[in-house]
Chain A
Amino acid sequence: MKTLKRFFTRARNLAGQRAQDERLREEIEEHIALQTEENIRAGISPAEARRQARLKFGAVEAMKEKYRAERGLPGIENLVQDVRIALRMLRKSPGLTAFVALTLALAIGMTSGTLSMVDALIFRPYAVPHPDNIVTLVGTTRDIPFDYFSYREYLDLRDKTTSYDGAIAYADMEAVGFSSEPAATPRIKGGMLVSGNYFRVLGVEPHLGRGFRDTEDQVPGRDPVVVLGADFWKHEFTGDPSVVGRKIRLNGAEFTVIGVAPESFPGLLTFGHPDFYAPLAMARVFTTNLEKNFFEDRDDRELTIKARLQHGVTLQEARNELAVLAQNFERDYPQANRGRAAAVYTLFETRTIEDGNWKFCVIFFILGLAVLLVACTNVAGLLLSRARARTREIAVRLALGAGRFRLIRLLLTESAILASLGGLAGIAIGYGVVEWFQSKAGIVFMTELPMEVPFHMDMRILVASVALAALSALIFGLAPALQTTRVDLLHGLKSADVDLPGRKRLWGRNLLVVTQVSMSLMLLTAAFLMARSFQHTLLSGTGFAKDHLLMVKFDPRLLQYNAAQTKQFYQQLATRLRQAPGVQSQALTQNVPCGQDEYYGVAFVPDSFPMPPGRQNFTSMMDTVDEGYFATMGIPILRGRGFLASDNPETPRVAVVNDYFAKHYWPAGNAVGQHIRLDSPTGTPVEIVGVAQTIKYQDVTQEKPVDFLYLPLSQHPISRIYLMLRSTGDPAQLVPSVKEAVRSLDPNMPMLQTRAYQDLYLNQAVYGPRIAIQLVGAMGAVGLFLAIAGLYGLVAYNVSRRTREIAIRMAIGAGQSDVLRLVMGKGLVLVGLGTAIGLAMGLAVERLMNYFLFDAGGVDIVAYVAVVPSLLLVTALAAYVPARRATRIAPTQALRYE
């Protein structure tokens, strides 16, 4: 209490220092006057009396010092003083301050911006209470580390595991036709099927109404209830609280709104934010696979399972338990579960295994750190050279009795202020980077579903940015501070421009040069590499035609069509479009190449192929297509035939494989005519009737050739289908014809994703990578700019430091060319060293990128050929300009100059 009181008094005293000093002075005066009078009374002469009074009082200044220490808060006072001095110093050189702050801002902004990406894709916890103990349960096979579970499997896992405080399941967010009234045409929204315990286990309290009851998820089709997402509720129902209890229609079926999820809970997905949630038991209204029975088939795997680990149960225990259950599954249901195991993943494992985009972000972040390092060395170099100019100031301070520690603190305060400026501006730039990404959201997700770029400058990132700024202040501030305060007082006071050729000092500067050259070389290599390999893949093509194609997606399940109705719809649609003008050919396919949906996988056993021991089957990506597909997409059939209208459920099963698949399993080249069996050695035999060219299936930039299998639509009916139309002219002109045809069949049938295929392709394959390349390119440019500026500064400074030396050399007979050689030789050696290290690091980055992202082949010579000479040139210039100036100075002038 007393201490607190004193603290506040002291803090207040900081303000009224003048008055306080005055008071003390008066008191001292009075005190000495009284003592003097007393001494005089004792018979001492006035002068002596005063002297003795003073003696008796003691050292006035020391006392004042103590008095002040007692009065104020010396720590804060010193800090305020430091800040004031530092600000004055920085104001004195506004150009330098601005440059340093800008440099740091760029670097910190890039780092924190990319860090927000890494955070969003890997580390950011789920928006639920106690997110740390939520784990993901996944099925695994030899080929797939991340597979879904079926409904039956979920029930078993939920009921038989003991490691968890509840296990939830949900299906992928999918397009659902939503209408608030029966008459309205359905609009596409993102819906998600979740288990009845979803909100309860996650600990999410609904904003309005209630969450699901467990009983509402027990009987298939009985309880049509729905919980709305907060965003959807706000936009669609203008935040109307009376929405609870209302009836809405989803895919034509009536649902009752029972609650609204809180705004703090956008769902568990990284990108998607579901508009509403419905219980798994309502899956018939939603679910995807028409060939399977969602509630019964153990191999209809569409569910993600997450569970809350019980307190005190270790991850290993949970893993062991699940492994045993998976073994039991395999024993009890050999048909559905052969070769399947299961795993428990933490958040980190889930995010890094599920989706590969984090790799980009990590590489961005590493590059961001490299930029930051370049910026720091840059600033350190600048401060070092400025420090030299301040040698005298520092020497005077030291001579007057400032402690070295105190001075280092002062210099670090300057650095900290610079870093704060840079950090603040950097956070602004980070916002800019994130904002830029957000603005690309429309390009990144070409979809009707509620998707969002999840990068945010949230509290975590702000804290990290501040930490980065502080760290960089230490990095760039400490070395100059230590060095500056290590001056030789004698020399420092005598000369304004002292620089003793201490080995250590030169070494430090040389290190800066080398670091900068190597870092910027690495950055540039990375940027070049990305751009070039991207160009390379674009030039090498995808193996199919992209222009003159119109795509439309249909999903008759939105209107509750059964299998027969679905088949009829597509047949009639095809018939009508055949007569439409401008249609060259048409095709139906389950998926489009390089589109947004993932291909399904298929398990198969090739006849006459020796199975490796312990392996039951292989898996491959697959697509279900009709007879017009290969011609319409321009995918050449290399051997055999494509599908025919005569392939139908009554005729023998057939398949087309890609070239890679054919060579993979039949290296002799006799794939056509061979058989594979689906799922298992006893499965349906399918004859391979043709070999199609291998194309890019999912990703233009990252994909290596893969196995691919096509099955005919007529033998494997599906519901959700893309219609592809090859046009003679502009594909957009076909839209009215398609609309007309669809309307005549069913006016309520929504046309999804109606667009020129090329737009989708550009979006998926070109714009996305282009964003990445723009980002890395920007980083490379910033890195190069900083490196060049820093390099020039350092080299030029190193040369200018030697002005006197050069003058002496010239005075005693050195020629201009000798001096130039001397000066430039040194700079070039440093750059050479930096280049060597940079090349090594560039190679490492290239390896990393090749491994992670691209299939760009071997070493990209062009990148180096382009980058190295430009750096050499800059260095040479930086050495040359001041060296030339030095050689022009008259020796007498240079020697006198001080």
Chain B
Amino acid sequence: MKQTLSAKQKADVLQGTLALMVLKTLDVLGPLHGYGIARRIEQISGDLLALNQGTLYPVLLKLEQEGSIASAWGASENNRRARFYRLTREGRKQLRAETQDWEQTAAIIGRFFEAKAEDLP
């Protein structure tokens, strides 16, 4: 049975991971405005994370205040003024560290799920 995440669970997931997703998105796609980032996250997650796009902005602000990303005004596809976010050097460093963490965590959790009772000595 395919289970959709409840609103509460979604929020919890977002709290921890949205920042990481934002960083990765900017790493892959380069400077991007808020809407672009939101779209990208939706696409990648296969609309599983159909978030309230607005929630992205406080996260962007937090990252900017921490110095992981920087922002500047630029022109959007249709030549309107838009705020573009880009990864800073510090952000790249942070992304690397968090990716590593994440992979490690994922690997450990994965092993737990694969492990069967008889595998243990």
**Which chain A residues have a beta carbon within 8 Å of chain B's beta carbons?**
2, 5-6, 9-10, 23-24, 26-28, 30-31, 33-35, 37-38, 56-60, 62-63, 66-67, 69-71
- Chain B, 51-65, CB within 8 A of any chain A CB: 51-55, 57-58, 61-62, 65
Which of B38, B58, B78 has the largest number of chain A CB atoms within 10 A?
B58
What distance in Å separates the Cβ of A57 from its nearest Cβ neighbour in chain B? 5
B53 and A31 contact, CB distance less than 8 A: yes
Stretch in B22-30, B79-87, B95-103, B113-121 touching the partner: B79-87
A70 and B62 contact, CB distance less than 8 A: yes
A524 to B65, CA, bound (A): 63
A71 to B82, CA, bound (A): 20
Query: How many chain-B residues does the 8 Å CB contact rule pick out?
Result: 24
A27 and B53 contact, CB distance less than 8 A: no
A30 to B38, CA, bound (A): 13
Other than A5-B66, A30-B35, give 12 A-B pairs with Cβ distance below 8 A. Answer: A27-B82, A30-B34, A30-B82, A35-B53, A38-B39, A56-B53, A57-B53, A58-B53, A59-B52, A63-B54, A63-B58, A71-B65
Kindly list chain A residues whose C-beta atoms are within 8 Å of the C-beta of B76: 30, 34
Q: Residue-by-residue, is B3-44 near A (CB-CB < 8 Å gives 1, otherwise 0)?
A: 000000000000000000000000000000111001100000
A5 to B65, CA, bound (A): 8
A58 and B55 contact, CB distance less than 8 A: yes
Kindly list chain B residues whose C-beta atoms are within 8 Å of the C-beta of A9: 65
B67 and A58 contact, CB distance less than 8 A: no
Question: Contacts A60-B54, A67-B58 hold; do A30 and B65 have CB atoms under 8 A apart?
Answer: no
A10 and B54 contact, CB distance less than 8 A: no
One of A6, A27, A60 near B65 (C-beta < 8 A) = A6
B35 and A58 contact, CB distance less than 8 A: no
Listed from nearest, the 4 A-B pairs whose CB atoms lie closest are A58-B52, A63-B54, A58-B54, A34-B35
What distance in Å separates the Cβ of B19 from its nearest Cβ neighbour in chain A? 12
Which of B52, B65, B76, B82 has the largest number of chain A CB atoms within 10 A?
B65
A18 to B81, CA, bound (A): 19
A5 and B67 contact, CB distance less than 8 A: yes
What are some 23 contacts across the A-B interface (CB < 8 A)? A9-B65, A10-B65, A26-B83, A27-B34, A27-B82, A28-B57, A30-B34, A30-B76, A30-B81, A30-B83, A31-B35, A31-B38, A31-B53, A33-B80, A34-B77, A35-B53, A56-B52, A59-B52, A60-B54, A63-B54, A66-B55, A70-B58, A70-B61
Kindly list chain A residues whose C-beta atoms are within 8 Å of the C-beta of B58: 63, 66-67, 69-70
A30 to B61, CA, bound (A): 17
The residue in chain A whose Cβ has the minimal distance to the Cβ of B57 is A67
A9 to B61, CA, bound (A): 11
Which of B35, B39, B51, B67 has the largest number of chain A CB atoms within 10 A?
B35
Kindly list chain B residues whose C-beta atoms are within 8 Å of the C-beta of A28: 54, 57
What distance in Å separates the Cβ of A39 from its nearest Cβ neighbour in chain B? 12
What distance in Å separates the Cβ of A201 from its nearest Cβ neighbour in chain B? 57
A71 and B61 contact, CB distance less than 8 A: yes
A6 and B83 contact, CB distance less than 8 A: no
A174 to B82, CA, bound (A): 87
Which of B38, B54, B65 has the largest number of chain A CB atoms within 10 A?
B54
The residue in chain A whose Cβ has the minimal distance to the Cβ of B50 is A56
A2 to B97, CA, bound (A): 15
A70 to B56, CA, bound (A): 12
A751 to B112, CA, bound (A): 102
What distance in Å separates the Cβ of A548 from its nearest Cβ neighbour in chain B? 87
B52 and A57 contact, CB distance less than 8 A: yes
Kindly list chain B residues whose C-beta atoms are within 8 Å of the C-beta of A27: 33-34, 57, 82-83
The residue in chain A whose Cβ has the minimal distance to the Cβ of B83 is A27
A27 to B52, CA, bound (A): 15
A2 to B67, CA, bound (A): 9
Kindly list chain B residues whose C-beta atoms are within 8 Å of the C-beta of A70: 58, 61-62, 65
Question: Contacts A5-B66, A30-B80, A31-B38 hold; do A67 and B61 have CB atoms under 8 A apart?
Answer: yes
A33 to B53, CA, bound (A): 13
Kindly list chain A residues whose C-beta atoms are within 8 Å of the C-beta of B77: 34
A67 to B56, CA, bound (A): 10
B57 and A24 contact, CB distance less than 8 A: yes
What distance in Å separates the Cβ of A62 from its nearest Cβ neighbour in chain B? 8
The residue in chain B whose Cβ has the minimal distance to the Cβ of A61 is B54
The residue in chain A whose Cβ has the minimal distance to the Cβ of B59 is A70
B62 and A26 contact, CB distance less than 8 A: no
Kindly list chain B residues whose C-beta atoms are within 8 Å of the C-beta of A31: 33-35, 38, 53
A2 and B66 contact, CB distance less than 8 A: yes
The residue in chain A whose Cβ has the minimal distance to the Cβ of B38 is A31
The residue in chain B whose Cβ has the minimal distance to the Cβ of A13 is B65
Kindly list chain B residues whose C-beta atoms are within 8 Å of the C-beta of A2: 66-67
Question: Contacts A6-B65, A34-B35, A70-B62 hold; do A26 and B54 have CB atoms under 8 A apart?
Answer: no
Kindly list chain A residues whose C-beta atoms are within 8 Å of the C-beta of B55: 58, 63, 66
Kindly list chain A residues whose C-beta atoms are within 8 Å of the C-beta of B33: 27, 30-31, 34
A63 and B57 contact, CB distance less than 8 A: yes
A38 to B35, CA, bound (A): 11
What distance in Å separates the Cβ of A775 from its nearest Cβ neighbour in chain B? 58
A227 to B29, CA, bound (A): 82
What distance in Å separates the Cβ of B85 from its nearest Cβ neighbour in chain A? 10
The residue in chain B whose Cβ has the minimal distance to the Cβ of A23 is B83
A62 to B57, CA, bound (A): 12
Which of B51, B53, B67, B77 has the largest number of chain A CB atoms within 10 A?
B53
Kindly list chain B residues whose C-beta atoms are within 8 Å of the C-beta of A26: 81, 83
Kindly list chain B residues whose C-beta atoms are within 8 Å of the C-beta of A24: 57
A122 to B46, CA, bound (A): 78
A34 to B78, CA, bound (A): 9
A35 to B42, CA, bound (A): 13
A888 to B78, CA, bound (A): 78
Kindly list chain A residues whose C-beta atoms are within 8 Å of the C-beta of B54: 28, 57-60, 62-63
What distance in Å separates the Cβ of A406 from its nearest Cβ neighbour in chain B? 22
A243 to B80, CA, bound (A): 84
The residue in chain B whose Cβ has the minimal distance to the Cβ of A70 is B58
A38 to B61, CA, bound (A): 25
What distance in Å separates the Cβ of B117 from its nearest Cβ neighbour in chain A? 43
A66 to B34, CA, bound (A): 16
A30 to B57, CA, bound (A): 13
What distance in Å separates the Cβ of B47 from its nearest Cβ neighbour in chain A? 11
What distance in Å separates the Cβ of B44 from its nearest Cβ neighbour in chain A? 17
What distance in Å separates the Cβ of B20 from its nearest Cβ neighbour in chain A? 15
Kindly list chain A residues whose C-beta atoms are within 8 Å of the C-beta of B35: 30-31, 34-35
What distance in Å separates the Cβ of A815 from its nearest Cβ neighbour in chain B? 70
Kindly list chain B residues whose C-beta atoms are within 8 Å of the C-beta of A66: 55, 58
A9 to B62, CA, bound (A): 10
Kindly list chain B residues whose C-beta atoms are within 8 Å of the C-beta of A34: 33, 35, 76-77, 82
A37 and B78 contact, CB distance less than 8 A: yes
A35 to B76, CA, bound (A): 13
The residue in chain B whose Cβ has the minimal distance to the Cβ of A33 is B80
What distance in Å separates the Cβ of A347 from its nearest Cβ neighbour in chain B? 53
Which of A23, A30, A31, A59 has the largest number of chain B CB atoms within 10 A?
A31
A537 to B67, CA, bound (A): 80
A220 to B72, CA, bound (A): 88
The residue in chain B whose Cβ has the minimal distance to the Cβ of A31 is B35
The residue in chain A whose Cβ has the minimal distance to the Cβ of B77 is A34
The residue in chain A whose Cβ has the minimal distance to the Cβ of B66 is A2
A815 to B80, CA, bound (A): 81
The residue in chain B whose Cβ has the minimal distance to the Cβ of A2 is B66
What distance in Å separates the Cβ of A515 from its nearest Cβ neighbour in chain B? 51
A59 to B76, CA, bound (A): 24
Kindly list chain A residues whose C-beta atoms are within 8 Å of the C-beta of B78: 37
What distance in Å separates the Cβ of A308 from its nearest Cβ neighbour in chain B? 55
What distance in Å separates the Cβ of B116 from its nearest Cβ neighbour in chain A? 41
What distance in Å separates the Cβ of A25 from its nearest Cβ neighbour in chain B? 11
A481 to B67, CA, bound (A): 43
What distance in Å separates the Cβ of B78 from its nearest Cβ neighbour in chain A? 7
The residue in chain A whose Cβ has the minimal distance to the Cβ of B37 is A31
A34 to B38, CA, bound (A): 11
What distance in Å separates the Cβ of B79 from its nearest Cβ neighbour in chain A? 12
A551 to B97, CA, bound (A): 92
Which of B39, B67, B81, B82 has the largest number of chain A CB atoms within 10 A?
B82
